[in-house]
A and B are shown apart, each in its own frame.
Chain A
């Protein structure tokens, strides 16, 4: 196996996903066959080839530092599952 159950659980924890035991095994098998397929890349000679992260060359894109209207607060809160007094409410974080 290219990926252990502990590594599956670690990735799930980092990604904020909760997995049942059966799921851990299922994802381990599926991820394993995908990672095994990806092994073909290790055979490609890449030396000091520049990694590509954008499909064409743009550097920083600046705009004038002028305030423009974006969403107002009431509108931004329309989709929040829970809000009160103009702010989003979440379960208590600090005891």
Chain B
């Protein structure tokens, strides 16, 4: 199967299958599935919306009508529990839809359920979820990556036609790479963050995940655009996303030497070079570039992201929503007990790190310094994009690893984000799509990064690549 969303849309219009039948079949499949991709399945809501979609089909040619979409469980859905895979949000049912969800529903898409993630999207394995790890459909002993691992695994396992993820330091692209699918982190400000539970507000973006670049473009087209409810969403007009391949003739693609450094698995390197030569065969001009400051990206990220997280997660205090420890004797005790019992160790570690780097005496050495180096990283990209149109490299240094590996070594897990973090720091759009398989038959993803608001280049190049390759068609 090449495109799942577009194929589903065609099958509805040929009357091969109705949306209600599609959703019923899918819910049966999800219930038997072993990947633990979903936290909540919304059978009742999905069937109701599918029935409504059947009426819409008669007078709409929108490819999203009746199409089942899964939503990462840190994105608010009206009337449907949103847990962030955390005990501290037990019982929380949003009273509104995130703008991204609202826009999908307006286009007729059916939200089938909420997908698993690392608690509060903090992690790269989906193993820190309070409901337990999601398993990679390619090999159930491996991680699907994270933090949008539930969305990645659900798309790869065929449990939905497409999904929403969120990406703060690589959380869409990494699971896309590990699960052999396509994932887009849009430009900061291209998709409204209203209703996305905040982790690091200057880095977070919602984005689409799907089996193909074309399906990803269909979803991005619905998501993009200014939202008055998110003051950081960009006030600009977007053209409708085309579903055509980009003509790569003369497109200049920069290869940063820093993305092929120590720690890169030889299988990943081989597949990514194959991917780059495919782009070259399609007419792209390949050139070496330098991004001298990206090597500091992980250090910068884990200062800025944790600093912002320590502030954002202060709101979980047991007062207005979520769980509350009821044995507490006074207010301070209630905060302490609620938060200490509600958060897992990874979240606590990041809150404490963020609190520490912002605390008196350390602010200049850590937070200010990191924000300055962030400027230098952004400047590296500006200079690179004066010479080239796109930047290509690996998405992650390795393929999917065992679900129990690396759990005791937070720094090693942080370093897996080394190639994805720079785009978040600079606010740039980036895509990951499959470009080969490693020794164990696990998918390898390649990453393209574009200048601000040039998602059209990323998606067009992805479509062109997938017209000439079959990696995205291989199923687990």
Contact = CB atoms under 8 A, between A and B. Distances in A.
A90 interface: yes
A86 interface: no
Interface string A39-62: 011101010011111111010010
B228 A63 contact: yes
A78 to B, nearest CB: 6
Contact of A81 (B303, B322, B352): B322
The DSSP consensus for interface residues of chain A is loop
Interface in B410-458: 410-411, 414, 425-428, 452
Which residue among A58, A78, A79, A88 has the maximum number of chain B CB atoms within 10 Å of its CB?
A79
A57 B130 CA distance: 37
Contacts of B343: 17
B359 A46 contact: no
Given A52-B371, A56-B188, A78-B95, A15 B352 contact: yes
Contacts of B44: none
Contact of B234 (A38, A56, A82, A88): A56
Contact of A56 (B95, B328, B425, B452): B452
A90 B428 CA distance: 43
Interface string B314-349: 100111111110001111111111011001000011
Contacts of B334: 90-91
Contact of A55 (B370, B411, B427): B427
Contacts of B373: 41, 44, 46
Contacts of A12: 352
Interface residues of A, number: 48
A19 B425 CA distance: 32
B330 A91 contact: yes
A92 interface: yes
Which residue among A10, A30, A50 has the maximum number of chain B CB atoms within 10 Å of its CB?
A30
A52 B203 CA distance: 12
Interface stretch (B118-126, B215-223, B361-369): B361-369
B340 A17 contact: yes
A59 to B, nearest CB: 11
B374 interface: yes
Interface stretch (B103-111, B132-140, B292-300): B292-300
B330 to A, nearest CB: 5
B424 to A, nearest CB: 8
A7 to B, nearest CB: 7
Contacts of A17: 336, 339-340, 343, 348, 351-352
A27 B95 contact: no
B426 A14 contact: no
Nearest to B348: A17
Nearest to A63: B228
24 contacts: A11-B353, A12-B352, A16-B336, A16-B339, A18-B339, A30-B349, A30-B410, A31-B349, A31-B352, A34-B353, A40-B296, A40-B299, A41-B299, A44-B296, A44-B372, A46-B376, A50-B375, A51-B372, A51-B374, A63-B228, A78-B93, A78-B95, A79-B93, A90-B331
The 8 closest A-B pairs by CB, nearest first: A55-B427, A51-B371, A79-B321, A81-B324, A46-B372, A61-B231, A52-B375, A55-B188
